[in-house]
Amino acid sequence: MRTQIGIVGAGPAGLMLGRLLRMQGIESIIIENRSRSYIENRIRAGLIEHWAADLLTEVGAGARMQREGLLHWGINIGINGDLRRIDFRRLVGKRVTIYGQQEVVKDLVAQRLADGDPLLFEVTDVTVHDLTDSRPKIRFRHDGVAQEIDCDFIAGCDGFHGVCRPSIPQGVLATFERDYPFGWLGILSESPPPEHELIYSYTDRGFALYTMRSMTLARLYLQCDHDEAIENWSDARIWDELHRRLGGARELKEGKMLQKGITPMRSFVVEPMQYGRLYLAGDSAHIVPPTGAKGMNLAFADVVYLSRAFDAFYKRRDDTLLRDYSAKCLRRVWKAQRFSWWMTQIMHRFPNESAFDHRRQLADLDYLTSSESAARSLAEQYVGLPLD
């Protein structure tokens, strides 16, 4: 097989890149090691920044999001049950859209298949080769047959555990990492959320987040131990803790639990996001802790920059944007890292925190929710910094 851009991974980064390239008249082949039903049902965050929702609409994949997504013009911060609202409309005139990441994936897959562009599921034994040559290659097996794609460039959109990043020789990438001494236990419940907007609830017992997929489907998270076993959390224990961590601010209705899982918390960045003709985008290059839901939004920003760079290369033989790709992405990545780290550390209880740190954290929360300047700073980052 022969294509211009070989895309490894059909998550939000790979699928959006494929769509942007098609709009520019650039060919791509997307390969994915999971099945279509796996990627369409994999539960992730469900919060889309203002510009990213507009992007989905501009690329023609936003129709169902516009019908089914919820527009949120603010969030609530709870401090031991004292609920304070941050009003995005007043502070920055923007909103976020609540719509599950797997729904975005479904819409982008349906669009790609309708366009008739190649998208191969359940490929195995994926390897990438000749990354510093002018014709890099992707090898894999599909339906038992060994295949090779001869590409101009490869986009590594294959996530944190993918094969692209580890194919870059030792010593090329610098890695920046931080672990957190807790995780999130998340459930999906057939019940209304306790408020029509999100509640980020700090309590002395730990953090909880009350979000939703619709007004009848709640997505609820609890800060739990770092290496917590899900078996330790019966449904009754989860509900009991969710009630307590609302701190009496609202009533929480219980419902049937449809899904239960643990989300690890990690900050991770590699630099640069490129080696030869391999360009990394999304989770293959960076992971943020879930607080603030920046993961998919960052992946979209990467591929917007990457598609612009390919466009300049093919239309004008200008490789300036390709050379600048990594630096351009990393400026945004580090701001999102900083924001996600900050939201995480302000909302969670840390084991072994000192009494001083605990008082400082409460003052941070009080400042955030009582100073217009502080609230505006959160708002402009939460709804998404503009793409430059």
Instruction: Report yes or no: 105 and 36 within 8 Å, Cβ to Cβ.
Output: no
Q: Is 292 in the site for ligand DHB (CB under 6 A)?
A: yes
H/E stretch holding 216: none
Q: What is the DSSP letter of 289?
A: -
Minimum Å distance from CB 109 to ligand DHB? 20
**Region 39-98 residues binding ligand DHB, contact defined as CB under 6 A:** 45-47
Q: Is 290 in the site for ligand DHB (CB under 6 A)?
A: yes
Closer of 22 and 260 to ligand DHB (Cβ):
260
Q: Is 17 in the site for ligand DHB (CB under 6 A)?
A: no
Assigned token pair, 243: 């009630």
Closer of 96 and 309 to ligand DHB (Cβ):
96
289 is an active site residue: no
What distance in Å separates the CA atoms of residue 172 and residue 284, rounded to the nearest whole number? 15
Q: Interface mask (CB under 6 A) for ligand DHB, residues 196-235, using x and -?
A: --x----------x-x-------x----------------
382 is an active site residue: yes
Among residues 200, 202, 210, 221, the one annotated as catalytic is 200
Alpha-carbon 382 to chain mean position = 13
Closest listed residue to residue 6, CA positions, set 188, 157, 162, 171: 157
Q: Is 197 helix (H, G, I), strand (E, B) or coil?
A: coil
Among residues 286, 294, 328, 348, the one annotated as catalytic is 294
Q: Is 293 in the site for ligand DHB (CB under 6 A)?
A: yes
Q: What amino acid is encoded at 224 in this protein?
A: C
What distance in Å separates the CA atoms of residue 127 and residue 141, rounded to the nearest whole number? 10
What distance in Å separates the CA atoms of residue 203 and residue 131, rounded to the nearest whole number? 50
Closer of 109 and 209 to ligand DHB (Cβ):
209
Q: Is 245 in the site for ligand DHB (CB under 6 A)?
A: no
- Binding residues for ligand DHB (CB under 6 A): 45-47, 198, 209, 211, 219, 290-293
